[in-house]
Amino acid sequence: MPHRFGYNAWPTPEEREREHLLHLLWSLEEEGDQRTVTVHERWVHNDDPRPIIAALIEEGLIEENGEDLRLTGAGKAAAGDLVRRYRLAECLLSEVFLLEEDQYEQSACEFEHILSPEVTDSVCTLLGHPPVCPHGRPIPRGACCAKFQADVKPIVTRLTDLSPGDVAKVVFMSTEVPKHLDRLSTIGLIPGTTFRLHQRQPSWILDLGETQVALDAEVAREIFVKKMGCSYLT
């Protein structure tokens, strides 16, 4: 049976099992652990994953090497799509609908199986192409991320897109400079922090309640925020 990876129709129970296993193998590889025994220990959707493993091997999506299971090139592409949908759904439910972790995780799992490529790209664009999920795990990139063009206005933008007086909440930081994150954490600017932009030039001044912090343009561009629907801090 060819694998459909959640497109165009509700998945059958067997298709869901295959997708769950592909997602699990992606996560294990991400953690640096590909042991077959680990798959058995962590498999919770089926008492015996061996029939699912055999089916995915036959389809050329995974391969065995001794006791190890590995995703093939085709398997990595399929699993990456699944993981991307799941982690984008986590961001959507967490940042847009403001659900708590215990509320959004199960729904994100459902979204993983049913979102079409077009809807997935629209969600990604709406969120401003986030690099990580709410847990800090990387979100596989899509074609829309390379283009970074929006058919709808993103609700998550760079801090540098704000105007003085705007109130926003930090969603995530995207930087390759660890000391930038260390400094931002030290001054209390972390995901979830709400602030008012006081000025843009010559440096970016943020009001954090009774405190003000100054950022240079390089650091400000690395902070992604969601604009709040008010002009003052409450």
Q: Is residue 103 assigned to a domain? A: yes
Q: Rounded to whole angstroms, how far apart are CA atoms 69 and 36?
A: 6
pTM: predicted TM-score of the whole model, two decimal places: 0.68
Q: Rounded to whole angstroms, how far apart are CA atoms 146 and 159?
A: 20
Q: Is residue 32 assigned to a domain? A: yes
DSSP 159: G
Residue 150 is predicted with a pLDDT of: 45
DSSP code per residue over 128-178: T--SB-TTSPBPPP-HHHHHT--SS--SEEEGGG--TT-EEEEEEE--S-H
Residue 139 is predicted with a pLDDT of: 95
Q: How many domains does the chain have?
A: 2
Look at residues 156, 19, 14, 158 and name the one whose alpha carbon lies nearest to residue 86.
19
Residue 23 is predicted with a pLDDT of: 93
Amino acid at 73: G
Q: Do residues 173 and 109 share a domain?
A: no
End-to-end alpha carbon distance in the chain? 56
Q: Rounded to whole angstroms, how far apart are CA atoms 33 and 70?
A: 10
Q: Rounded to whole angstroms, how far apart are CA atoms 101 and 213?
A: 30
DSSP 93: I
Residue 166 is predicted with a pLDDT of: 93
User: In which element (H, E) is residue 214 found?
Assistant: strand 211-215
Q: List beta partners, residue 138.
A: 132
Residue 46 is predicted with a pLDDT of: 62
Residue 2 is predicted with a pLDDT of: 40
Sheet holding 167-173, edge to edge: 156-158, 223-227, 167-173, 194-199, 204-208, 211-215
Quickly count: other Cβ atoms within 10 Å of residue 232's Cβ: 9
Spell out, as residue ranges, where the chain has pLDDT lower than 50: 1-8, 150-151, 231-234
Q: Is residue 201 assigned to a domain? A: yes
Q: Where are the alpha helices (DSSP H) in 115-228?
A: 117-126, 143-147, 178-186, 217-221
CATH code for position 222: 2.30.30.90
Residue 153 is predicted with a pLDDT of: 61
Amino acid at 160: T
Residue 5 is predicted with a pLDDT of: 47
Domain that holds residue 208: 156-227
DSSP 64: E
Q: Is residue 126 assigned to a domain? A: no
Please state whether beta strands 223-227 and 167-173 pair in parallel, antiparallel, or not at all (unpaired): antiparallel
Q: Is residue 223 assigned to a domain? A: yes
Q: Is residue 216 assigned to a domain? A: yes
